[in-house]
Amino acid sequence: MRGFLASSIGVATAAALALPLALPTPALAETVPVTPAGSTQSLPLVPLGPVATRTPGTGASPGGPETRGLSARKVDTFSLVGVVWDDVATELHGRVQVRTRSTATATWSGWQDVEIHNSEHAADPDTAERASGRVRGATAPLWVGESDGVEVRVQAEPDAPATRAPSRLPSGMRIELVDPGAAGPAGAGDGKNNGPAPDGKGEMAAPGMTMEMAEASAANVPHAPIGANEITALDKADSTADAVFAGDGELAPAAAPYIGPRPRIVTRKGWGANESLREKAFVYTNTVKAAFVHHSASGNNYACKDAPAVLRSLYRYHVVSSGWRDFGYNFAVDKCGTVYEGRAGGVSKPVLGAHTMGFNTDSMGIAVLGTYTSSAPPAVAVDAVARLTAWKLGLFGRDPRAKTTLKSGGGNRFPKGRNVSLNVISGHRDGFATECPGKQLYGRLGTARTASARLQGRP
């Protein structure tokens, strides 16, 4: 994200304001009814008028930088926010801030910055996912916890290029308010679509599972049975057997000794993914040559018990709000070191993600849940990245301390078609001009590489 120039407004104090009783709840332009499976409220951002006509603390002074947003208002319950706009190719140069009203305390938060992504986490150009016509420009999502009120302001940088005369902000800007819903029954359906699982073994979907859930779960057979909430950890010796299921059923003899112990992985069913949201088919690349480490930039204000809800919110934001085919990352790691399955298709398979624009082919993306620009990542999260990469990269014969070459699919750092030498374990910023995975997490990748190689048993 470009540095934001000092604005003409000060950040409002974090006063605990009651919602104005006379202010009606606005009609929502696009709302999915609140259900156990989750919901998304999508509200258009509007130009903000003079200070005297606005709720205190909103927008810029007259004559100041262009500002769009929403005044404080009551909305249906949500837990995660983000801003999207029509054209994924249009960049947002400015500052996005929100404040929210907690359902637990009935008080307002202070203004919180929402990180601007500008397509750095996305499918590669010229791919079917990117060309679907559904993909939007989007900020990072921000986890705010259960809330029922929101106020938004988006302020353009004074020197931002015009996106459409005379505006310096993208068209079609909307605030997305995501409710993660409940895990379990929400995605289970009524059982009417149950049938033979798509693993060719005649196994039946578990009672209450939709066919989509069964397909996502079957992609992890034989690591776990259909309907499993987790894939259990294995020691190093037993993990070698996983290699035959990673690609075409063959493993170079030299690679076999260097597969790390498989970590425990919570499956999509385990964190409550609503499989009806994603596109049905799975898309694979040829191999896994590198792992890109990210932070989700969604904030650190979550308890580890809430990580599944954070994932359900991120998933809904990626698919419903941003227009991606599925969850963008191949794996996620929470701040307590738990590893989660991300994009569907099988944890040992080379699933094509949408995590590092330009370098999604022949790679995997791991998102550490949180923001690690100034906050240090927990040691257990860095250790989880090492354990996961020792196993997954080992399945494809990759040394975590080595370099590899990937061909750029196009991005803001390397032109399309260029062969780029990268670390086998890289940060997102190595392939795209971005702050991700945050300075503090990026600084720990050397530790992760060393630990990963050690777990593989490399000399």
- Where is average pLDDT lowest: 105-109, 162-166, 261-265, 361-365? 162-166
> If you average pLDDT over residues 366-393, what whole number do you get?
98
Q: pLDDT category, 133, cuts 50, 70, 90?
A: confident
22-45 residue pLDDT tens: 344 443 334 433 345 799 999 999
Of 186 and 458, the structure prediction assigns the larger pLDDT to: 458
With a cut of 60, say whether residue 246 has pLDDT above it.
no
Tell me the whole-structure pTM to 2 decimals. Answer: 0.85
Which distant-in-sequence residues (6+ apart) come within 8 Å of 302 by Cβ? 143, 145, 310, 335, 369, 370
> If you average pLDDT over residues 131-156, what whole number do you get?
94
- Where is average pLDDT lowest: 118-122, 273-277, 308-312? 118-122
With a cut of 60, say whether residue 87 has pLDDT above it.
yes
Return d(Cα 30, Cα 8) in angstroms, integer.
33
The pLDDT value recorded for residue 13 is 33
With a cut of 60, say whether residue 53 has pLDDT above it.
no
168-184 residue pLDDT tens: 899 999 999 999 998 75
The pLDDT value recorded for residue 189 is 34
Is 29 buried (19+), middle (13-18) or exposed (0-12) by CB count in 10 A?
Answer: exposed
- Where is average pLDDT lowest: 109-123, 201-215, 265-279? 201-215
User: E strands within 296-428?
Assistant: 331-333, 339-341, 363-368, 403-407, 419-423, 425-427
CATH class of 30-179: mainly beta
> If you average pLDDT over residues 281-306, what whole number do you get?
96
Domain boundaries defined on the chain: 30-179, 211-456
Instruction: State the average pLDDT for the chain.
Output: 84
| Nearest residue to 333 (alpha-carbon basis) of 310, 354, 352 | 310
Query: What torsion, rounded to 10 degrees, do the Cα atoms 108, 112, 118, 119 define?
Result: -70
> If you average pLDDT over residues 145-167, what whole number do you get?
87
With a cut of 70, say whether residue 292 has pLDDT above it.
yes
* DSSP code per residue over 321-346: IT--SS-S-SEEE-TT--EEE-SSS-
The pLDDT value recorded for residue 120 is 62
With a cut of 90, say whether residue 299 has pLDDT above it.
yes
CATH superfamily of 211-456: Peptidoglycan recognition protein-like (3.40.80.10)
